[in-house]
Structures are given as structure tokens and as C-alpha cells.
Amino acid sequence: MTAFLEKKWSLAVLIAAAGALMAFVSLTPAPGRGGSLLLAFLFFVAVVEGCIAAAAAGATVNARWVGSVRKELLSVTPLLLVASFLLLLLIPFVDSYPWAGKPGIWLRKDFFIGRNLAFLVLAYVTARRFAAAPADGEGTKSRAAWYLLVFVVSQTLTAFDLVMSLEYPWISALLGGYFFIESIYGGFAVSALLCLLFRGTPPAEHGHGSRSDLSDLSILMFGFSLMWAGLFFAQFLTIWYGNLPEEVGFLARRLSVSPLRELCVAVLFLLFFIPFPALLSTRAKSNPLVVSVAALSILSGILVERYVFLAPVVRFSPVALAIDVVCLLVLFAVVVYKGSREASLEA
Amino acid sequence: MAGPMVFEEKEKFLERLRGLVREGVPGERIRVITPFGVPEVEEILPRGRSKVRFFALVGAASGTVTGFAFTILTSLSWPLIVGGKPIVSLPPFLIIAFALTILFGALSTFAGFLLLSRLPSLRGIRSGEEFGNAFVILVEDGERQ
Amino acid sequence: MGIADRYAKVDRDVLAAMKRPGRVYLAGLAFTATLVVIGGALWAYQVRSGLGVAGYTHPVNWAIYITNFVFWVGIAHSGTLISAVLYLFRARYRTSFNRAAEAMTVFALMVAGLFPLIHLGRSWVFYYLIPYPTQRQLWVNFRSPLIWDVFAVGTYFTVSLVFFYVGMIPDFAAAKQHVAGIRKKIFSVLSLGWKGTEKEWRHYGMLYLFLAAFATPLVASVHSVVSWDFAMSIVPGWHTTIFAPYFVAGAIFSGTAMVITLVVPLRKAMNLHEYITDDHFESIAKILLFTSLIVSYAYIVEFGLASYGENAFEKEAFRYRALGEFRYLTWAMIFCNSLVPLTLFARRLRRNITFLLVVSLLVNVGMWLERFVIIVTSLAHDFDPYVWGTYRPTYVEVGISLGSFGLFFMLYLLFVKNLPVLSISEIKEHL
């Protein structure tokens, strides 16, 4: 198996196989296929773009922790092309959006798919340029900055177009920002997991004043859990307080039905009430068990939250969803594995 | 008591301090005075992490509890429906509790610092003994109380 | 130069700033004090005659006073960012700015706190806002954003004051050795008898870390609470979820610009080029650029989403903002906040201190205009066209605003001559 993975063309083969499988599953005319693919796409794009964004953000501020997992994080770049392919598979699904019957200037099928696709491809191009630059080279910071600009626009468009327009005419101005902060949050969680997997546990006898890459990443996860909670509360409080029917409907549909209400509470726990207290103490920030639990909690929280966003308005097919998610996770694991092999060969 | 050992340079000061500990002088009898915080001193004379952090924790926790208790109890004591919001409306009360958490935490940490460092110290305010920017080691005799 | 001489030089350089004031300083002090007196007199006139003399009438009941309040609270945030947040990130370049930044925070909050009082009109009933057991058994309305402001800004002021003072305790102890007379007595008392024993430094280190950790969430939360003064209403142009992070980024943006505006002349006047270098300014310029991008993002999202959707009121509110009576202010705001800072992408311009000073002044103006535009245009033109109106400031408001600027700069000038303007012990630590 590892011999197969070592081959240069193995990734292309796997991508082709996964792509064919997902195309087959989602294009079959059965209810729930498109919705499942949308959910898998949203989660996947958030995590992939977030990983690269975490590395890019680290590069712009000369953060030290980036060096240890940079190669692995940037190895996910080709998956942005996979994401673009998935977006093309979603074209038939776009017809089920509420505005599809009466398109306007902004919400029309061709422009809708076109701009999202364009920014995904642009994200791939800028990510590739950033990944190709040496870690501490001259132009690396500016390439990282370009990627970050494209990333912000790409995630903002994903939020406003793919998610917010499902509930048209509901508006939340913060949704774009909320999505890209969650994406970077997920990126830091993945970075922490990669650091544990590939760089091992830091030595136990660290004085409490010194740093390690893992503890830096834990501090970032801790800080972002607070930031996430703040952004969540900003949206919730504004909608709750204003109590306007056109806004509150969005919350009501998700808080009044039984499985969704419990899932909403679960999201709060997974994205804040578990990572925040877990990573509070200094010792916990270097503890591999605590950090991996927090990171996995964050990643599952993002997935469950995307589900909660889509659930009242989109139909899912559990089988299709499982197939899509598994295919994408396998691809993710393979590229990261290959990236780490490359890194250890270089070292 | 032997006179204070005064050093202009940090490295020489640290060397002498390590020497004293190696000679077997008990840590409790060594006092140092520095113009800024020197982390190596904590390694040479380990005294455990400062207990100020407990003041912070207790203060912050009491702030949260006070914030919620105060807002909820006062709302229930004169139940007026304002703006169509429930009498006990947690999102706004959370904001008050958050603010009080930080306020009580900060103030109690400051109080803890003053208590544990025995400040303000009248002797320190009136004392004429000034070392400037020097690093000083003072070893107290065993007999002094 | 031996290390002992370098320490002594830090003492000398910082304390040189506190020697007898020159003519330029005294002129500045006199000018700002005059503005304060004029502002105070106009406030007395307003208390006697009512808010109408300040141009407040239906429908625009919140205008320049609230703009000033939000502006000054925003300025304060940047000081805390530099002193507390950069401390947690272990950014070394912070030590040259942090004392000046903390002072800026405390004085900005003092000035900000005046405006709710001025805006009450009947300023003597300010105690209605304080939750105490009243004779009527009535408590304050905790569901109101205005009460959240009381708690948030009050907490922020207290914590910032404590942080500012705590940072100066070792510096008072160091400074008292070089001054004489009444100043020596005052510094001795303020230093609380600090000697610099390892016990004191150990507890101090943990205190400083916790204060920085407590102050950091305040940077985000206080201005979010201030933004919710507007976002909790249903007024078009105000009721939007993005206000909290948008205002926080705007606060850091305007505050960073004010830091540059204050520190560039300070460095020149007190010869502190060795401590506050061009590298420091470049780092601050990057923060300015970054927050400008966030503010521009918010403008694009807000204007974009106004035309999206079926909310005619929102569409009209933003059309009025861009093309209505106050359009020149809106365009000036976009120019100063979004376009001018883009020039800071060029490294050469980031390191040109005069250019930075000009940019910072434009940003200060632009951010003041932004708050004004948000508040006044939304109030002038909300749901029902029959109640649309306009707003014209009067000399009373303008005079009080100028008085508030005068108060801030006067307090800052007094600080510069009487308290250590750089953080002495931290600079020595990093030598």
C-alpha cells in the first residue's frame, strides 16, 4: 500500500477514482444527492482552504510554528482543483435554490457558478505560487498575502452564495466573515493534529515559560475559539434582539425542531465549550491527548454546523453523504501523507 | 549580616548567585534586588509559581456568578416586560456577566499582587537605600529574625 | 558602552523628557487648555438651555456627541492592543510604544466617558444609569445596550487604569532616584515602596500576564458592545450582524492612526529616535493597513448586501448614504479609510515617517466621518418618508467637540512632562 502511495502518479489515480465515484453518486437522479455533495463540499473547502490560510497567515507574521508543518499543510493545494470539480458537479443542484425561478443580476445561475469557480481556481493558483516559494524567501510574504486575499473572497462568496442564498431573502452580513474565520480555525486544528502526528510530542521537561510549536498552535486554537464564540454571539444577539420576522425565521427553523436544536447545542460545545476550557491551562496546551481532542472537536463542530445551516432547506441522502465524505477524507489523508514523506526526504 | 553584593552586569550577578547556591547557602536566606525581572533567578532559586493566579481565578469566577445573579435577581424582583424580551433574558445578561468577570478578575489579581508582595511598604517608600541599576545579592545571617 | 552605562542612558533619556518645559510645550498646553475652557463654558450653556442649542431635533437625535463617544472609545482600543495583545504575542517592538499607548487609552476613555454625560442634556440624572437599590425598588434595564455600555466601558476604564499604573510601578521606583523635592516624594508614594526583590518581580510578572490576558478580550468586546448600541435597533443601516467585528477593526484602525499621530511628534520633540525606530513605525503601519482592509471589506459587504434581497428600506438607506445629502462625507470617508491606506502596501512608503503622519491624520478624519455618516444618515432617513429630516451642527456641538480634543491633548501633554514616557524596566530588560 505504501509502495503504491510512493508512486508519483498515485495521487492522480486516486483523485480520478474519487472524482468518478462522486460524480456517479451525485449525478444519479435521486433525492438528496446534490444536498449531500453540497455539505461535503462546504466542509472540505473550508478545511482545505483553511489549512493553506493558516500557513499563509503564519508566513506573513513570521510565526515560528509554521516551519514544523508547512510542507504538510501546503500539500493539500491540489485538492482545490478537486473542489472546483465538485462545484461543477453541483451545477444541477443550483436549480433547486429559491431564487432559481426569478434570477436577478447577482443571483443568476451562470454568474453564480462562474464567480465561485473563478475564485476557487484563483485560490488554487495563488496557493500553488505560495507553496512553491521557499519558506523564508523574499517574495513569500507577498504571495501569502495574495492567497489570503483570494481566500477571504472565496470563503465570503461560499457563505453568501452557497449557504445564505438557500434561505433567500434572509441576510446576515457577518456570514462571510464567520465562514472564513471558521475556516482558519479549522486550519489551526488540522495544523495541531499534523504537528502531533508528524513531529511527535514535545519533551515533557519544558519550563513553563518556554514555547513549543504545539503550544503555540494550542494558543491559536484557544484564541480562535473565543473569536468564534464572539462572532457567533454577534450574529445570534442581533437577530434575537431585533426579533424581525424575516430574520428570526432562520433561527426558528433551526431551534424549534428536535434533532436540529440538539445539534445546535452540540455545535456550541464542539466549537467553544470543549476547546476553550480544555486549552485554558498552560500544561494542557502541550498535552497531546487534550490537544487532539480539542482539534477533533473543532473539526467535527464545523461539519455539524454546516449540516445545521443546510438541514431545514436541503434534502440529504445518508449513503451519498457518507460516500462523499469518505472519498474526500481519504484524498486529504493521502496528500498529507505524501507531503510529510516529501518533507522527511528533504530534511 | 554580610554586606550586599552589588554587580553592574547581569552575567556576573547570576554567576555569583549560582556559586552561592552551590556552596550550600539555603535559598530562603538569599534575597536579590534587580532593576528588571530576571527569569534565570527563578531557575536558580526556585520558589514555585506565584499564587497570584488563584486570586485571578477566584475573582473571575465571582465576577461571572455576580453578573448573572445580580441581573437575574433584580429582573425577577421587579418583573417588567421591556421590548418584548423575556424577564430573564440570558443573551444581554451574558454581556454584563462577561464585563464583571473581567473587572473582578483584574481587580482581585491586583489585590492579590499587593497582598503577596507586601506592598505598599512604608519602609520602601521612606527608605534611602537605592541601588540604581545594579543587581544586588543579600545574604541574611541565620540568627537574624 | 558597558551595560551599566547603557542602563543609565535609558534612565537619562527618559527622564530628560521630564525637565523644564520649553516655550513650544507651554504654548501647546495653553492652547489646549483654552479649548477645554471654551468647551466647558459651552457645556454649561447647553445644560442651562437644553440640547436644542446643539442642533438636536427630530429625527436626528444622536449626532456629533455619540460620534465623539464612539470615536474616543475606538482610539482607546488601539492602546490596549499595543500594550496587552502584543505582550501576549511576545512582540518585542512593543516596548517603545506601550507606555504612550496605555496613556492614550486612559485619556481617551476619560474623554469618551464625558460624552454620554453631555448627551444626557440633564447631566445631573446620570445616576439613573447606575444599578443601586433605589427608593422606588426599580433597577436599571439590563436588556438595554446603553447599560451594557456602562458596564463594558466602565470595566475597560478600570482595567486600563490598573494596567497603566501597574506598568509604571517599577518605573516610579527607578525614576525617584533621579529626581528631587516634591516629585521625589510623589514618585516614592506612587512606587508603593517597590524595591525590585525577586519576590516582587515574580508576583509582578504573573500580575502583568493576567492583566494582559484580561485586557485582551476587552479589546474585542467593548467596541462590540458599543456597536450594539446601533445594531440592536431595527433602523436600516444600523441593524446588521457585521457591526461588532467591523467596529472593532475600525477602532483598532483609528487608534493605530492616533498612536502614529501622537508618537511621531513625541519622538521628535524628546529625541527618542534610539528607542522608537523606523522599524517600529513600519510594524505599526502594517497593523494600519491590515485593519483598513477589514474596514473596506465591511463597506463592500454592507453596500453589496443592501442591494441584495427584498428589503426596500435597506436599499434606500444605503442609496441615501452614497448619493444623498451627506454624500461628500461618505466619499471622503471611503477615500480616507479604504483608498489612502492602500498606499501602505509599498514598503518605501511605510518607512516614510512624514507620509505615515499624513496618512494617520487622514485616517483619523476618515474614521470620525465614518461614525458620523453611519449615525446621522440612518437617523435622517429611516422607515417612513414623512419623518425624514436632516441635521445641521451648531457652534455649541462643534465647540464641545473641539474642547474634547483639547482635553485629550492637554492630558497627553501633562503626561509627557510628568510621568515616564517609555517603559524603562522593559527597555532595560531587552537591551
CA distance A252 to A254: 5
- B39, B85, B94 ranked by CB distance to A209: nearest: B39
Number of other CB atoms surrounding residue A325 within 10 Å: 16
Residue C109: which pLDDT band, with cuts at 50, 70 and 90? very high
Residue B28: which pLDDT band, with cuts at 50, 70 and 90? confident
Quick check: B85 and C148 CB within 8 A? no
Determine contact: B123 vs chain C, CB below 8 A.
yes
Quick check: A240 and B91 CB within 8 A? yes
Q: Pick from A322, A323, A231, A220: which is nearest to A268 by CA?
A: A231
Structure confidence at residue B139 (pLDDT):
84
Polymer length in residues for chain B: 145
Number of other CB atoms surrounding residue A258 within 10 Å: 7
Please indicate, yes or no, whether residues B39 and B92 belong to a single structural domain of this protein.
no
Structure confidence at residue B143 (pLDDT):
47
Please indicate, yes or no, whether residues B15 and B67 belong to a single structural domain of this protein.
no
CA distance C360 to C349: 13
Average pLDDT estimate for B64-79: 94
CA distance readout (Å), C141 to A207, B66, C148, C293: 48, 17, 9, 37
Structure confidence at residue A52 (pLDDT):
95
- Residue A143 sits in which domain range? 2-202+210-340
Q: Pick from C190, C151, C184, C149: which is nearest to C167 by CA?
A: C190
pLDDT for residue B129 is more than 80: no
Q: Is B138 helix (H, G, I), strand (E, B) or coil?
A: strand
Structure confidence at residue C374 (pLDDT):
96
What is the β-pairing status of strands B5-7 and B135-139?
A: antiparallel
Quick check: A230 and C220 CB within 8 A? yes
Residue C96: which pLDDT band, with cuts at 50, 70 and 90? confident
- The backbone region for A324, taken as left when phi is positive above 0, alpha when psi lies in -120 to 50, beta otherwise, is alpha
Structure confidence at residue A202 (pLDDT):
64
Residue B144: which pLDDT band, with cuts at 50, 70 and 90? very low
Task: Return the number of CB contacts < 8 Å for B and C.
Answer: 185
Type of residue found at A334: V
C211 CB neighbours in chain B (<8 A) are 106, 109-110
B84 CB neighbours in chain A (<8 A) are 243
Q: What dihedral do alpha carbons C40, C41, C42, C43 form, nearest 10°?
A: 50
User: Total structural domains in chain B?
Assistant: 2
ipTM for the complex shown: 0.93
pLDDT for residue C211 is more than 50: yes
Per-residue b/e over A183-222, b at no fewer than 16 CB within 10 Å?
bbbbbbbbbbbbbbebbeebeeeeeeeeebbbbbbbbbbb
Please indicate, yes or no, whether residues B34 and B59 belong to a single structural domain of this protein.
no
Alpha-carbon C206 to chain mean position: 27
Task: Return the number of CB contacts < 8 Å for A and B.
Answer: 13
Mean pLDDT of chain C: 92
CA distance B96 to C276: 39
Assigned domain for A347 exists: no
Please indicate, yes or no, whether residues B68 and B22 belong to a single structural domain of this protein.
no
Determine contact: A153 vs chain C, CB below 8 A.
no
CA distance C409 to C265: 12
* Residues of chain A scoring pLDDT < 50: 205-209
C303 CB neighbours in chain A (<8 A) are none
| Most A CBs within 10 Å, among C144, C291, C308, to test the A interface | C308
Structure confidence at residue B44 (pLDDT):
85
Beta bridge partners of B139: B30
Determine contact: A175 vs chain C, CB below 8 A.
yes
More confidently predicted of C87 and C359: C359
Please indicate, yes or no, whether residues B16 and B39 belong to a single structural domain of this protein.
yes
Which residues 131-190 of chain C have a CB within 8 Å of chain B? Answer: 131, 137-139, 141-144, 147-148, 151-152, 154-155, 158-159, 162-163, 166, 170, 174, 177, 188-189
> Tell me: the pLDDT tens digits for A179-213?
999 999 999 999 999 988 887 766 654 444 456 88
Assigned domain for B121 exists: no
Do A263 and A303 touch, CB atoms closer than 8 A? Answer: no
- Residue C313 sits in which domain range? 3-430
Structure confidence at residue A168 (pLDDT):
86
User: Which of B23-27, C346-350, C423-427 has the weakest average pLDDT?
Assistant: B23-27
Average pLDDT estimate for C42-59: 92
Assigned domain for B103 exists: yes
CA distance C222 to C244: 9
Determine contact: C216 vs chain B, CB below 8 A.
no
Residue C85: which pLDDT band, with cuts at 50, 70 and 90? confident
Structure confidence at residue B2 (pLDDT):
63
Q: Which partners does chain C have (≥3 C-beta pairs < 8 Å)?
A: A, B
User: Total structural domains in chain A?
Assistant: 1
Average pLDDT estimate for C170-191: 89
> Tell me: the pLDDT tens digits for C117-134?
999 989 999 998 889 988
C205 CB neighbours in chain B (<8 A) are 37, 50
Assigned domain for A346 exists: no
Quickly list H helices, C176-197. 181-190
CA distance C419 to A322: 65
pLDDT for residue C7 is more than 90: no
C228 CB neighbours in chain A (<8 A) are 237-238
| Closest chain C CA to residue A167 | C309
Determine contact: A240 vs chain B, CB below 8 A.
yes
Sheet holding B5-7, edge to edge: B5-7, B135-139, B30-33
**Residue B32, H or E segment:** strand B30-33
Structure confidence at residue B122 (pLDDT):
85
Determine contact: C7 vs chain B, CB below 8 A.
yes
- Residue B87 sits in which domain range? 52-116
Quick check: B50 and C206 CB within 8 A? yes
CA distance B96 to A206: 38
Which residues 76-105 of chain B have a CB within 8 Å of chain C? Answer: 77-78, 80, 82-83, 85, 89, 92-93, 95-96, 98-100, 102-103, 105
User: Total structural domains in chain C?
Assistant: 1
Please indicate, yes or no, whether residues B105 and B58 belong to a single structural domain of this protein.
yes
Q: Is B137 helix (H, G, I), strand (E, B) or coil?
A: strand
Beta bridge partners of B137: B5, B32
Query: Would you state the cell numbers that stand for residue C170, as one nine-digit string?
Result: 517599577
For the domain that residue C101 is a member of, what is the CATH number?
1.20.1630.10
- A173, A226, A242 ranked by CB distance to C302: nearest: A173
Q: Kindly state the percentage of chain C with pLDDT values over 90.
A: 70
Determine contact: B46 vs chain A, CB below 8 A.
no
Average pLDDT estimate for C100-115: 94
Please indicate, yes or no, whether residues B68 and B100 belong to a single structural domain of this protein.
yes
Residue B31 is classified by DSSP as: E
Determine contact: C204 vs chain B, CB below 8 A.
yes
C245 CB neighbours in chain A (<8 A) are 174, 177, 230-231, 234
Determine contact: A152 vs chain C, CB below 8 A.
yes
Please indicate, yes or no, whether residues B56 and B10 belong to a single structural domain of this protein.
no
Q: Which partners does chain A have (≥3 C-beta pairs < 8 Å)?
A: B, C
Q: Is A152 helix (H, G, I), strand (E, B) or coil?
A: helix
Contacts of residue C17, Cβ cutoff 8 Å, sequence gap at least 6: C270, C272, C416, C417, C421
Which residues 44-83 of chain B have a CB within 8 Å of chain C? Answer: 45, 47, 49-50, 52-53, 56, 60, 70-71, 74-75, 77-78, 80, 82-83
Structure confidence at residue A198 (pLDDT):
83
Please indicate, yes or no, whether residues B29 and B74 belong to a single structural domain of this protein.
no
- A168, A169, A172 ranked by CB distance to C241: nearest: A172
Do A47 and A174 touch, CB atoms closer than 8 A? Answer: no
Q: Which residue carries 483608498 as its cell?
A: C339
Please indicate, yes or no, whether residues B22 and B73 belong to a single structural domain of this protein.
no
Quick check: C234 and A242 CB within 8 A? yes
pLDDT for residue C63 is more than 70: yes
CA distance C120 to C305: 34
